[in-house]
């Protein structure tokens, strides 16, 4: 099977590099390494942090994007997953840095290279409309609200959001029944069960599913303990899980190529899933991936 290169729109780091803390050279190294993992382009995802640190990360990523060499994975923009989230569904994010989702607060870190913003829509005052007017994708995540008006997608479906209840509205239920909403899904076998994946793949139009990794800096690094979002995280390599000391999942330890291979082995994959982020972001990247060859190819030699 041949497809276009992968587009990764939710990734916090890999190969030992954390995008909140990375240097320009770090970002260029990831760009080079991800190209070996079938990724044609990615949206570095910034976790909740101070305004100062967020501004620094944005500037580093923007600078690196201009220096990416031919043949490496393109840096397509920034996914801001943080600051405007609901404390009830904070996950691993540090609520000390949460702000009310207002235009004034967004302007503290606003940049034209931010292409996706994850926020809790139930907290919105006026930010969703503003982001839409700027052409920024708004995704509901780390939230409990069921009204997805103005949102184009949801962030890591089921994780850090109000789940399905047959008598009450919820974020996950609204995402599943709304055919216009794109849904990120972490299909690493840890964040969502295979039965739940099958439900999503049946309920959602195939062209609205976004495979993402939510990958952490520990992936392909050999690190078993590291600090992420200001908290010490422990990587259990046997169970492929990275959690806080309290057991909160901190993100995935798989790259997107690992997830696609897993879905192919489980007969849960559809080539449409690789096309979807191209359509969602209206982008195009040259090249093809031969998955028969990729099954035997090692990412790091």
List the catalytic residue out of 49, 188, 214, 258: 214
Cα-Cα end-to-end distance for the chain: 24
How far apart are the C-alpha atoms of 144 and 121, rounded to whole Å?
8
Q: Enumerate residues 6+ apart whose C-beta is below 8 A from 209.
A: 182, 183, 185, 200, 201, 272, 273, 276
The neighbouring-strand residues paired with 211 are 185
For residue 214, indicate whether it is catalytic: yes
Whether 80 and 112 have beta carbons less than 8 Å apart is answered as no
Cα 42 to Cα 2, 39, 213, 247: the distances in Å are 20, 7, 11, 28
The β-bridge relationship of strands 137-140 and 153-154 is parallel
H/E run at residue 161: none
Burial of 184 (0-12, 13-18, 19+ CB in 10 A): buried
Q: Distances in Å between the alpha carbon of 154 and those of 23, 148, 230? A: 29, 9, 25
Element spanning 205, H or E: none
| Closest of 156, 44, 152, 18 to residue 89, by C-alpha | 156
Please identify every residue annotated as catalytic.
214
């Amino acid at each position: 099977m041949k497809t276009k290169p992968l587009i990764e729109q939710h990734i916090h780091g890999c190969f030992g590099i954390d995008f909140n803390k990375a240097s320009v050279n770090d970002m260029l190294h990831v760009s080079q390494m991800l190209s070996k993992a079938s990724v044609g382009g990615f949206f570095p995802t910034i976790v909740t942090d101070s305004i100062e640190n967020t501004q620094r990360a944005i500037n580093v990523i923007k600078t690196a994007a201009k220096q990416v060499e031919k043949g490496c994975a393109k840096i397509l923009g920034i996914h801001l997953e943080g600051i405007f989230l609901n404390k009830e569904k904070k996950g691993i994010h540090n609520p000390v840095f949460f702000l009310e989702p207002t235009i004034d607060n967004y302007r503290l870190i606003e940049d034209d290279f931010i292409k996706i913003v994850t926020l809790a829509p139930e907290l919105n005052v006026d930010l969703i409309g503003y982001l839409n007017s700027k052409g920024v994708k708004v995704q509901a995540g780390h939230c409990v609200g069921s009204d997805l008006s103005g949102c184009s997608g949801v962030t890591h479906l089921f994780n850090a959001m109000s789940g399905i209840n047959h008598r009450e509205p919820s974020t996950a239920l609204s995402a599943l029944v709304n055919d216009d909403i794109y849904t990120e899904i972490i299909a690493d076998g840890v964040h969502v069960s295979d039965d739940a994946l099958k439900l999503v793949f049946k309920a959602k139009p195939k062209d609205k599913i976004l495979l993402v990794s939510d990958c952490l800096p520990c992936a392909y690094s050999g690190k078993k303990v590291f600090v992420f979002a200001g908290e010490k995280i422990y990587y259990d390599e046997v169970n492929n899980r990275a959690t806080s000391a309290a057991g909160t999942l901190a993100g995935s330890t798989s790259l997107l190529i690992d997830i696609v291979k897993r879905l192919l082995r489980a007969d849960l994959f559809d080539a449409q899933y690789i096309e979807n982020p191209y359509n969602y972001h209206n982008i195009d990247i040259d090249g093809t991936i031969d998955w028969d060859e990729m099954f035997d190819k090692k990412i790091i030699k």
